[in-house]
Structure formats: structure tokens, C-alpha cells
Amino acid sequence: MGTLSGKTAVVTGSTSGIGLAYARAFASAGANVVINGFGTPADIEKERSAIEKDFGVKAVYSPADMSKPAEIAGMVELGEKTFGSVDILVNNAGIQFVSPVEEFPLEKWDAIIAINLSSAFHSIRAAVPGMKKRGWGRIINTASAHSLVASPFKSAYVAAKHGIAGLTKTVALELATHKITANCISPGYVWTPLVEKQIPDTMKTRGLTKEQVINDVMLDAQPTKEFVTVEQVAALALFLCGDDAAQITGANLSIDGGWTAA
């Protein structure tokens, strides 16, 4: 019996990167999981069945698009209908786009605000009634060091991440007496497909080589000079789900190799 046996976790954007590590960490503690995100059906099925096989829990896949409010509500409903509850909600899906503000494509701004910020509002709105009824819940939002500090050329991302930090604090206050905590985890640079994909754009925008982007832009901000791992981020999320974390709420927890200390 794991510490999360009988509980259900919904993790948005869990077909890849940090989200997949969260889903696997919750499953390792005995939770059933709803995974979500994009990918080929074969890749998604591989991850879903591996979670069931590796940890002896149930995993279902929701194809909900985090830019579509009705689909987000449907994802929470899928968890409640399949497993009887949604006890842990992790808002993690996210995209990035790098551009000077005056050239920032309008549709990229709208997509980043929708996927990185508004989706968390929609899923929280859908999951809170069940959490309140059962008197227990954990809401974890993947924010970023960019919820605390800015970098040039990431106007939409930084705005969305600052927004999610504010949403988290508000929800924490509203739910404080219901044994439901709401926190954000703010990683620095974690080596995932999201980071890898922004290297070519940053090379172009700043006129740098790949090595210069990695060492002089990314790890330059991170005093430890090391990438954070997805497993380290997932371990923090797992801690937040335990009884020892019952009084941690409304917090913005940095896991950034010292970035935001500077």
C-alpha cells in the first residue's frame, strides 16, 4: 500500500517531460492517474501501459486540449467517473514561444495565456467541488522561475507564469479551511523537450551557437550550472501530497539551482 493508495491524480501535459515524471511518481506511491497531453497514439499508449505495469495502478488517458475549457472540464469528469474522485490536480501543460514583444505573434500570445494560465483556472474550477465534498485535496501548479523573475523575449510566458503564481495564492486562501492545499513549483531550467525546442529560436534571436545558448543563456542564470532533473521536480510534488506538507499552502517553491536567489 503506497501513501497515495485510493487516491486519483490528474496531471495535465503528462505525455512528456516534467508531467510524465509527476504521473510516474504519484503512481509509484499507489495513486491511479489520468494522463493528458499530445503525442502519437502509440507513444501515449506506451507511457500509459508502462505506468500500469510498473506500479500496479490504473492509468487512463484524456486527450483534452488545454486551450479548450469544455475539454478541461471533461478531463476532470473522466477522472471522477473512472476512479470516483480527483484528489490531486497538477496543472503542468505548457508551451513556450520566444520573440521580441513588438513582433510577438498574436496567436502565440493567446495560446500561451490559454494553455499556461487559463487552463489551470478551468481545471481547478472543475475539481474543487469534489475535493471540498471529500475534505481533502492537493492542487499543484507548475509555475517557473519565470513566475518570480523575467527574461527578455518571453513576454507571454512570463506573464502567464506570474499569473499562475497569483492564481495559486488566491485558491490557497479560499480553500485553506478545507484541507485542500494549493502550491506552485517553480523550476529553473529542466532538461526536457520544451527546453530543447527553444534552443533554435534563441540561437536565431540572440545570434548564438547551440553551446552558447546552453552555457551562456540557460545555465548562466542557474548558479549551480546544472540542469534540474524531472525526477527532482516530481519528488517535490510527491512531498506536497503527503501529510507532512499539510501546512504548506499558497507557497511558490523554487527548485532552480539558486537562479532566483541572485
Question: What is the residue type of 215?
Answer: N
Which range, of 12-20, 128-136, 208-216, 244-252, touches ligand NAD by CB under 6 A? 12-20
Q: Does residue number 76 form part of the binding site for ligand NAD (CB under 6 A)?
A: no
Residue 64 CB, nearest approach to ligand NAD (Å): 6
144 binds ligand NAD (CB under 6 A): yes
Q: Does 16 bind ligand NAD (CB under 6 A)?
A: yes
Query: Cα 240 from chain centroid?
Result: 14
Nearer to ligand NAD, 125 or 132 (CB): 125
Among 33, 115, 148, 165, binds ligand NAD (CB under 6 A): 115
What is the rounded distance in angstroms from the CA atom of residue 74 to the CA atom of residue 82? 12
Told to judge if 157 belongs to the known catalytic residues of this protein, a careful annotator would answer yes
In DSSP terms, which residues pair with 11 in a beta bridge? 35, 90
Q: Per-residue DSSP letters for 77-99?
A: HHHHHHHS---EEEE--------
- Helix, strand, or coil here: 185? strand
Q: Is 189 in the site for ligand NAD (CB under 6 A)?
A: yes
For residue 45, which phi and psi values (nearest 5 degrees)?
A: -65, -35
Task: Give the nearest distance from C-beta 230 to ligand NAD in angstroms.
Answer: 7
Q: Of 123, 14, 136, 36, give the one whose Cα is nearest residue 85.
A: 136
Tell me which of 4, 10, 18, 184 binds ligand NAD, using CB under 6 A: 18
| Closest CB to ligand NAD among residues 85, 142 | 142
Asked if 44 interacts with ligand NAD (CB under 6 A), we say no
The answer to whether the beta carbons of residues 183 and 241 sit under 8 Å apart is no
> Per CB under 6 A, which region of 77-85, 98-106, 129-137, 183-191 contacts ligand NAD?
183-191
Q: Is 65 in the site for ligand NAD (CB under 6 A)?
A: yes
Positive or negative: CA dihedral 60, 66, 71, 73: positive
Catalytic residue among 22, 61, 157, 189: 157
H helices within 101-224, ranges in order?
106-113, 119-134, 155-175, 193-206, 210-212
Q: Is 95 in the site for ligand NAD (CB under 6 A)?
A: yes
Residue 126 beta carbon to ligand NAD: minimum distance, rounded to whole angstroms: 15
Query: Which of 10, 24, 26, 37 is close enough to bind ligand NAD by CB under 6 A?
Result: 37
Compute how many other C-beta atoms are within 10 angstroms of the C-beta atom of residue 204. Answer: 11
4 backbone dihedrals φ, ψ, rounded to 5°: -110, 15
Residues designated catalytic = 157
Site residues, ligand NAD (CB under 6 A)? 12-19, 36-38, 65-67, 92-95, 115-116, 142, 144, 187, 189-190, 192-195
